[in-house]
Structure 1
């Protein structure tokens, strides 16, 4: 199966009426969502900290924060990594879990997950 491509709305939780639509991919192997810094800063979203991540055969440091996402008509606040200019927008598994979504490998799309209350 190839990548699952999605169109996602991104918004500042403090100003939810102003949103930007961007294209990205779903990566169930990624924990966090990555959105380019220029997009987040354009929405006045500021970093809340900085973390070290294993990537590209070594380690990188990136700013982290929270952003609002709109996927399949739903709005949620998710943790995000402030990506660099060359970084692809990635929806990670944490965002999928917050939205209650999963990948449908047959259709190559997102679908509502069967949620377990355990």
Structure 2
């Protein structure tokens, strides 16, 4: 599956008045959302845990936390990985599910999905 470009705003749930607009991609093969740590730190978002991930043929450890996102006019708080300065901002499937969004493969955009209460 290809990538879908997305424009989003990031905010600290504890201080939602300040936001940073970013361009990123939606990756339906990524579980978590990755946001550069310099952006998260500039908003005062602090890590709440450190997790180990399988990547690049080995393992890496990254700080994780929670950040507010605004996508398509909806505000939600999602788990995020504190990425490196050179990392692309990636919206993963956990965030998509929290937002109730899915990728429209025909249009290459995001759209609302049918939510199931099961």
If the length of structure 1 is used for normalisation, what is the TM-score? 0.97
CA drift of 1:85 comes to: 1.0
CA drift of 1:12 comes to: 0.2
Question: 2: CA distance between counterparts of 1:78 and 1:117?
Answer: 20
Question: 2: CA distance between counterparts of 1:10 and 1:82?
Answer: 13
Query: Which residue of the partner structure matches residue 112 of structure 1?
Result: 112
CA drift of 1:2 comes to: 3.4
Query: Which residue of the partner structure matches residue 5 of structure 1?
Result: 5
Query: Which residue of the partner structure matches residue 44 of structure 2?
Result: 44
Q: Secondary structure at the match of 1:5?
A: strand
**Structure 1 residues 27-66: aligned runs within 5 Å:** 27-66=27-66
RMSD between aligned residues:
0.8
Q: Secondary structure at the match of 1:87?
A: coil
Query: Can you give the 5+ residue segments of structure 1 that lack an aligned partner in the other structure?
Result: none
Query: Can you give the 5+ residue segments of structure 2 that lack an aligned partner in the other structure?
Result: none
Residue 71 (structure 1) aligned with residue 74 (structure 2): no
CA drift of 1:116 comes to: 1.3
Query: Which residue of the partner structure matches residue 21 of structure 2?
Result: 21
Question: 1: CA distance between counterparts of 2:105 and 2:21?
Answer: 24
Question: 1: CA distance between counterparts of 2:107 and 2:86?
Answer: 28
> Any runs of at least 4 consecutive aligned residues in structure 1 with deviations exceeding 4 A, and if so which?
none
If the length of structure 2 is used for normalisation, what is the TM-score? 0.97
Query: Which residue of the partner structure matches residue 89 of structure 2?
Result: 89
